[in-house]
A and B are shown apart, each in its own frame.
Chain A
Amino acid sequence: MAKYLLLKHYRGGPAGVNDVPMDRWTPEEISAHMQYMNDFASRLEKTGEFIEGQALAPEGAWVRYDGPGRPPVTDGPFAETKDLIAGWMVIDVDTYERAVELAGELSAAPGAGGKPIHEWLEVRPFLTEPPTIAE
């Protein structure tokens, strides 16, 4: 019973094997890709392991506090930002091995030519509550 984040990057991770940008795919290939993601999520719901999935717009702003009584400062987006998160899925599984197995399946989503994209997904454990029994 541990939660993991499967993080999908627009950029920042190593290149996948079938690394053709999505705008070069056929519309059918895009639909097949989306269908694969949806099917994956509903399958995980049936196994009782799905928490949530979200996608993010690529463009965002940087915001920071600018002192009392002043509006926050916004800046960006910065083209040079190395890491760009595309979306995520949160799963609740019994073991780390199961999290890796599921990330592997998600990474096999079809892309150009209907072939798996083999994209790199980042797997990060959630910090939990402390256990009751400590010693």
Chain B
Amino acid sequence: MDDALLRSLTPGVLGILVRRGADFAAAEDAVQDALVEAIRVWPADPPRDPKGWLITVAWRRFLDTTRADAARRRREDLVDSEPAPGPTPTVDDDLQLYFLCAHPSLTPSSAVALTLRAVGGLTTRQIADAYLVPEATMAQRISRAKRTVSTVRFDQPGDVATVLRVLYLVFNEGYTGDVDLAAEAIRLTRQLAAAIDHPEVAGLLALMLLHHARRASRTASDGSLVPLAEQDRGRWDTALIAEGVDILQAALARDRLGEFQAQAAIAALHADAPTAEETDWVQIVEWYDELARLTDSPVVRLNRAVAVGEADGARAGLAALAALDDSLPRHTAVAAYLHERDGDLATAARLYVEAAHQAPNLAERDHLTRQAARLNARRQR
């Protein structure tokens, strides 16, 4: 049985339960129970209509629970209102579920957890493992999130931008455990792209595909980070790159530029270069200018300084960097790199050490320490 296929049915089934009048929290629990039951029963006895099977089992489970809650009157109303079997709207329900799970009243971590469970169909344990959090804590986070959105009406239109931020977080900040969060983020973004026609959804999907294409080359066999310029481009997944570029081009043609399309455009320019030396840095700087106009994020301006350093020389990059607040994360790392390119190895080595001290993650810290060690060894020769 295909686990991803099973889980892809989750939002549709949940949406139908909610449309039939089940409250979101109870419906979500019922769908989880149905998924667990499916994993148990299907291998020996596969249903002809998997989605219909899940709806039936989840609905029955929901009614059982409601009955146990002594809400008899309400349950009878619900049974009476149960719609006749037949085609049910699904695309709309999928979309509403994304909106609900990324509702602005939720904190980012709650929205991520709820999205992975209610839209992604992952179990609480899988989500807990993926974020290195005890299962009991994750269970509380999810039920708290469900309570927070319990008063939100299911048919309220939502904001696509909040959904995209949640999916971006899932893609960008996952640990590598049992569940491949990057692949899961791509699956959920594909599903979203099928439910809504929106250039930024396409932009985010393209961005994810273009970065995912480089995944195998991003880390060496010992787990250390390999910077973009040193990656073995022969190991990039050309099929994913081609798909990402196609999706991006179609989105850009709509002429409604957004930050994810611009980020994807930068990733596409990197993907397009046969060697690091052939990278079109001039165009990349132009895209960073677009991005800065769209988001005004200091991180974007920092990355722009790197690109300027490649396009116009290290001095120009350092000048661009000088205009930025030096307390920005990775500011020192960028300064170290640009000073090395400028030939000032002593300053670069000193800054690499300082940057390693400030690094937010172990892989980056080790990488920066190695850079310092490399320069120090070269200077002693």
Contacts and interface: CB of A to CB of B under 8 A. Distances in A.
Chain A CB count within 10 A is highest, among B169, B174, B175, B360, for: B360
Contacts of A50: 134, 137
A129 interface: yes
B138 A135 contact: no
A135 B359 CA distance: 16
B136 interface: yes
B141 A127 contact: no
Nearest to A93: B109
Contacts of A61: none
Interface string B340-377: 00000000000000000001111111000000000000
Contact of A132 (B133, B141, B171): B171
B75 interface: no
Contacts of A125: 360
A135 B172 contact: no
B205 interface: no
A3 B175 CA distance: 13
A48 to B, nearest CB: 3
**Chain B contact residues: helix, strand, loop or mixed:** helix
Contact of B359 (A45, A46, A49, A127): A127
Given A1-B109, A133-B207, A133-B211, A128 B361 contact: yes
Contacts of B14: none
B51 to A, nearest CB: 31
Interface in A44-80: 45-52
Nearest to A91: B137
A18 to B, nearest CB: 31
Indicate the size class of the contact surface on chain B. Answer: 35 or more
B192 interface: no
Contact of B361 (A48, A94, A129): A129
Contact of B133 (A46, A92, A129, A131): A92
Interface string A92-135: 11100000000000000000000000000000010111111111
A51 B134 contact: yes
A125 B225 CA distance: 21
Chain A CB count within 10 A is highest, among B107, B169, B182, B362, for: B107
B134 A52 contact: yes
Contacts of A1: 108-109, 112, 131, 169, 173
A52 B132 CA distance: 11
B263 interface: yes
Contacts of A92: 109, 131, 133, 137
Contacts of A46: 140, 144
B266 interface: yes
Contacts of A129: 173-176, 361, 363
Interface in B270-284: 270
A129 B112 CA distance: 17
B314 interface: no
Nearest to A125: B360
Contacts of B217: none
Contacts of A135: 228, 266-267, 270, 303, 306
A52 B155 CA distance: 39
Given A127-B360, A133-B207, A134-B228, 11 more contacts: A1-B173, A45-B140, A48-B133, A49-B137, A51-B132, A52-B134, A127-B365, A128-B360, A131-B173, A132-B173, A135-B303
Interface of A: 1, 3, 45-52, 92-94, 125, 127-135
